[in-house]
Each structure stands twice: as structure tokens, then as C-alpha cells.
Amino acid sequence: MEKYDTGLESIEELVCVKCGVPLAPLPVTLSYMNSSFPVELPGCPRCGNVYIPEELAIGRMLHVEKNLEDK
């Protein structure tokens, strides 16, 4: 499973707003246009909400979306 660099020194500084617990690496599957990508991202071990850093969302993920749309 590919791990993405969140740009943070440690994800331990991130806390779930809903549950108040520290985030931990979680396996997740990102999907777009019938394509799925298994990745590991910081998420809440209690509720399962996942943190997607802005750099990832507007950087690499946007690039992948545009490539999929061009096909």
C-alpha cells in the first residue's frame, strides 16, 4: 500500500474533531471514475474519518483525476 507524505513531522499532532482522539495511519481506498486506489492516510481509529492534506488534494490527486478524465 502506498503511503503519502502529509508534509507533517508527525501525525500525532492531528486530532479528530469529532472524537477528540489522535489520528493514526489507516488503510483507505480512494475512488474516482470507476478507478480505485488503495492508500494509507491519517485517520481516526474510532470513527474512521480520514485526513486528506490540502497539498495532496490539490496536487497529486488533482493530477490523477485529470489523467483519468483524459482517457
Q: Which fold has domain 2-70?
A: Ubiquitin-like (UB roll) (3.10.20)
DSSP-assigned letters across all residues of 41-67: EEE-TTT--B---HHHHHTHHHHHHHH
Burial (CB count <10 Å: 0-12, 13-18, 19+), residue 64: middle
Which of the 8 DSSP states describes residue 16?
A: -
**How confident is the prediction along the chain (71 residues), in pLDDT tens digits per residue?**
555 555 555 666 889 999 999 999 898 888 877 778 788 888 999 999 999 887 777 776 666 666 666 66
Which three cell numbers, joined as nine digits, stand for 42? 491519517
Taking the model in full, what pTM does it have? 0.66
Q: What pLDDT, on a 0 to 100 scale, did the predictor assign at position 62? A: 66
Q: What pLDDT, on a 0 to 100 scale, did the predictor assign at position 20? A: 95
Domain map (residue ranges) of the chain:
2-70
